[in-house]
Amino acid sequence: MIKGKYDWNYVDSIEFVCDRDINQTEIIQRLLYNRGIKGKENVEKFLNPTIAQFYDPYLLNDMDSAVTRIIEAVNINERVAIYGDYDVDGITSTSILYLYLKKLGASVDYYIPNRLEEGYGINKNALDILKDSGASLIITVDTGISALEQVEYAKMIGIEIIITDHHECQEIIPNAFAVINPKRPDSTYPFSDLAGVGVAFKLIHALAIKVGNVDDIWEYLGIVAIGTVADIVPLTSENRVIAKFGFEKIKVTTNVGLRALLKEVGYKDTTNITSGFIGFILAPRLNAAGRIDDAKKCVTLFVTDDEEEASSIAKGLEKNNQDRQKLEQRILNEVIECVQNDERYSKSKAIVIAKEGWHHGVIGIVASKIVDKFYKPTILLNIEDGKATGSARSIAGFSIFECVGSGKEFLTKYGGHQMAAGLSLDMNNFENFRKEVECYAEETISTEMLVPKIKIEGELKDKDITINFIKNIEKLEPYGMGNSQPNFSFCGEIENFRLLGKESSHLKLKIRQNNVIIDAIMFNSSEHFKKLDNEMDIMVAGNLQINEWNENIIPQIIIKDIKSEICKLYDVYNIFKSIEHGKLDEISCKKIKNLVCNVEELNISRTDCAQVYKYFHNKKKEGKVTENIDNIIGILNMNIFKILVIMDVFKEMKLARVNILGDNLVEFEVLNSSEKTDLTKSELLIKLNEWLANLKFS
C-alpha cells in the first residue's frame, strides 16, 4: 500500500456557475473561480494583463520626497550609492536602479555586502567605506527596514538614506529621509506583496513620470521578473503584470549580461520562459555567487556592455553553482543525520540546529530541503567564534518571522517574512532561543498543519487529458505563488512502469483507464518502485504537461503524489482519528464525500468486528503477530478504514494490543479475557455512528 505524502484537498466549486457572458471555456472559468477571480472584468484583467494595471507609484508613502531628493542629487552631481542585498532580489534591484540612474546622468555606484564577512543588511563599516568614497546619499534596495541604529549612524557621519524594502516591519521603522515599503503599518498602497525589485521598480517608475521618460523603463521588466519570481512572492496583481511582460522581455532582451547567462544555461529561442525556468535554472546560478563567492559580479553582469566580460562572468556563475551543489549536499546529509539520530526532533514541532563548519551561504537552501523532507519549520545556524548565524524556513500557515521574533531577546539581529528569515545570536543564548522557538511552535502549530497539503482542482477522466485541454489551461500562466499550476487527480491501473535518469531516480508510468493509456512521470521518486506492480490500482495527483519527444507530442501527467486506490479510505480514517467529537465540520464532510461513494463503505457491523477478531484469535498461539495490512484486506475482503477502526476498538476495549508499524505492518496480540465484551459501549463506535449520521450521503 502506498499512502502518499500529501493531504489531498479537493477544491470546493459547488457554487460555481458558468457565465455565458465570459468568452472562456467552463474549465478556465472554474479554475479562475477557484482563485477568487469572478466577473467578466476581473477575468479579462487576469487573462490579459496590461501595463495600465500598474498602480500609481506615488501612492507609496514617502515616494514624492524620495523622488525630489534623488533628482536634486542628479542635478548637482551628488555622489549616490545603491546599497543592495546578495540574493537574486537584491542583485536585480541594484542592477535596474543603477542602470536607470546612469541613464539620468547620476554619479552613482553600488555596494553589495559580502554574505560571509558582513552578513545581511546595512553595517556601519560599509557606511564608513561609502562615506570615504564620497557618497552623501544612499538608496537601499531589498534591505534597510530594520536598520534603526545604522540609519542614525549614517546621519551622524553626514549621509542621508532612502530606504526601499519589502520585508516585514518591526515595531519601529528607521528614521531615514524616506522609507518606501508597501508593508509599512501606515501604508495605503493597494498591493503589499511586491518583491524588493518590485519596490525598486516603483521608484524608477516614479522618477520616470517626473522626468518624462516612462517608455524607457519597460526594458527593465525582464530583470524585474527574475527577481520577483526568485523571491517567491505571490504572482498576483502587479507581480502578475511584471511576470507576464517580463517573461516576454527576457526572450528578446538586449541586456548583454542576461543574454550571456541565457546562452550559458542552454536557452534556445523556442524555450518557453516560465517561473520554473527562472526558479530552477537562472536564479540558482545568480544566487550561487552571493552564497560562496561575491554577489557584486552578478550586478556587473547585468550592467556591463562588454560581451566578453559578460560571458566570463556567466561561466563563473555556472562553476559557482556546481560548487554550491556539492556543499549543499554535504550539509544536507549532516542535517538529516542529526534529525534522524536525535529523538528531540521527532517530538518537537520545529527543527533548530546549530553546528560548526556549515557554509552560511547554503544554509537557507538546506533549510528549505529539510522542510520538504520532514515538513517542520526549520532553523539552521553555522557556529563560528562563539557566534551563530543562519536561516529559517517555514511551512504553510506558520510565520517563521513571528516565530524567530518570539525569541528576539536572545538574538543580536533578525529579519524576514512569513516563509523565510535570517538571524544571528551569541551561542551562549542558543539553548534559550531554541527552547523559546520550540515552545512557540508547540503552541501555534496544530497537528494538521504538519501534514503538507496539495490542492486538487478536480478528478480527470481519460477523455479529459488532451493536448487541447492542456493548451486551454495554459491561459492561466505565468504560474507561481498565489496562482499555482492546477493539480488534478487521476485514477487507473498501472500498465507498466520503469525508472529513468542517470541515477534511475525518476519513475515513469503508463496508467490505463477505460482502455486509454496515459503517460505519467514522477521525478525523484525511486523509493516507490518496489511498492508498485503491473495492474495495480492507483490514484495520482499532479499537473498536466505537453511532452514533445522525437517529434511525438503527447499529454503527460507530472505526478506530485501517488497513492494506492485503497488509500482513499485510509485518508478517511485519518480524518476520523483527528476529529475529537462525533460532529463533523463542513470542510471535513466535503473532504470525505470526495473520497467515499456511500456510507456503507464506512459502516461497521458486529459481524465485521467478529471477523477481524477471529482472524487474529486463530493466530493467538503465535503470541504477537506481525501482519501486512494489505494481506488482511485481501483475506478478509474488508476495506482498510473498517480494519483500522476495528483494531482501534479492540485496543480501546482491551481485547488486544495493537501497534501500527511502518511499511504497512500491524503488530497485533490478542489478550485473554474471561468476560464477554459489549462492543456497543465502545466510545469509538459511538463516535463513528454519530459521525456517519452527520455525513448524510445523497
Q: What is the pLDDT of residues 339-355, one digit of tens each?
A: 999 989 888 999 999 99
In the three-class reduction of DSSP (H, G, I as helix; E, B as strand; rest coil), residue 414 is classed as strand
pLDDT value of residue 99:
98
In the three-class reduction of DSSP (H, G, I as helix; E, B as strand; rest coil), residue 345 is classed as helix
Reply yes or no on whether the pLDDT at 535 is more than 80.
yes
**Confidence grade of residue 249 (pLDDT, cut at 50, 70, 90):** very high
At 127-137, the pLDDT tens digits run: 999 999 999 99
Beta-strand ranges (E) seen in 126-270 are 137-141, 160-164, 178-180
Reply yes or no on whether the pLDDT at 623 is more than 70.
no
Cβ neighbours, 10 Å, residue 470: 17
Max alpha carbon distance in the chain (Å)?
A: 99
pLDDT value of residue 636:
87
Give the end-to-end CA distance of the chain in Å, rounded to a whole number.
30
Reply yes or no on whether the pLDDT at 510 is more than 70.
yes
* Fold entry, domain 58-320: inorganic pyrophosphatase (n-terminal core) (3.90.1640)
Kindly report the CATH class assigned to 569-695.
Answer: mainly alpha
Reply yes or no on whether the pLDDT at 418 is more than 90.
no
Cβ atoms of 106 and 73 within 8 Å: the answer is yes
pLDDT value of residue 322:
94
Reply yes or no on whether the pLDDT at 488 is more than 90.
yes
Nine-digit cell string for 624: 504477537
d(CA 228, CA 245): 12
**Confidence grade of residue 184 (pLDDT, cut at 50, 70, 90):** very high
Cβ atoms of 320 and 293 within 8 Å: the answer is yes
pTM of the model: 0.80
Lowest-confidence pick of 43-52, 312-321, 526-535:
526-535
Reply yes or no on whether the pLDDT at 538 is more than 80.
yes
pLDDT value of residue 698:
55
**Confidence grade of residue 278 (pLDDT, cut at 50, 70, 90):** very high
Q: How many C-alpha atoms does 327 have within 13 Å on its Cβ side?
A: 19
Nine-digit cell string for 448: 494538521
d(CA 221, CA 129): 31
At 379-403, the pLDDT tens digits run: 999 999 999 999 999 999 999 999 9
Reply yes or no on whether the pLDDT at 44 is more than 80.
yes
What mean pLDDT do residues 116-129 have?
A: 88
Share of the chain above pLDDT 90, in %: 65
Reply yes or no on whether the pLDDT at 215 is more than 70.
yes
What mean pLDDT do residues 512-519 have?
A: 92
Reply yes or no on whether the pLDDT at 578 is more than 80.
no
What mean pLDDT do residues 631-651 have?
A: 87
Burial zone of 343 (CB within 10 Å; 0-12 exposed, 13-18 middle, 19+ buried): exposed
Cβ atoms of 424 and 412 within 8 Å: the answer is yes
Reply yes or no on whether the pLDDT at 511 is more than 90.
yes
Domains of the chain: which residue ranges?
8-14+454-564, 58-320, 342-450, 569-695
pLDDT value of residue 181:
98
Say if strands 413-416 and 420-426 run parallel, antiparallel, or are unpaired.
Answer: antiparallel
* Sheet of strand 656-660: strand arrangement: 625-628, 665-670, 656-660
Helices (H), 133-179: 148-156
**Confidence grade of residue 409 (pLDDT, cut at 50, 70, 90):** very high
- Sign, CA dihedral 478-483-486-487, equals positive
pLDDT value of residue 461:
87
d(CA 644, CA 632): 11
Architecture of domain 342-450: Roll (3.10)
Q: Which helix (H) or strand (E) holds 405?
A: helix 400-405
pLDDT value of residue 429:
96
* Amino acid occupying residue 195: A
d(CA 646, CA 628): 16
Reply yes or no on whether the pLDDT at 7 is more than 60.
yes
The pLDDT mean for the chain works out to: 91
* Fold entry, domain 8-14+454-564: OB fold (Dihydrolipoamide Acetyltransferase, E2P) (2.40.50)
